[in-house]
Amino acid sequence: MRSLVKTKTEASTETRLSWWAYLFILDEFIAEADATINGPAAFGNPVLKLSVRDWDFLLDMMLDPPEPSEGLIALIRECRSYQE
C-alpha cells in the first residue's frame, strides 16, 4: 500500500510524487467528465450580481470610458517594450 507519510528514503519521495500525479490526473478526469455531462456550466464561472446602480455605472464605463491616466499609458508602454 502506498503512503503519503514523509520518510527519509528516496522510494517514499517517488511514491508521494506518483500519488500527487494520480490525484492530478483524477482531478482533471473528473473536471472533463463534469464538463461533458453538464456543459459550460461545469467550469464554475462565477456569476457577478450587480445592483442597478452598479450595473448602470459599469455600462457607462464600457460605453464611454474615461481618458487613460499617465500611469496607465506608462504601464502599456512598458508592457509593449517587453513584447518586442
Q: Is 61 exposed, middle or buried (0-12, 13-18, 19+ CB in 10 A)?
A: exposed
- Residue ranges of the alpha helices (H) in the chain? 10-38, 52-63, 70-83
Q: What is the pLDDT of residue 1?
A: 45
Q: What is the pLDDT of residue 49?
A: 83
18: helix, strand or coil: helix
Q: Are 15 and 3 in contact (CB under 8 A)?
A: yes
pLDDT band at 8 (very low <50, low <70, confident <90, very high): low
What pTM was estimated for this model as a whole? 0.35
C-alpha cell at 30: 473528473
Q: Collect all residues with Cβ–Cβ distance below 8 Å to 38 and sequence separation of at least 6.
A: none
Mean pLDDT computed over 24-34? 83
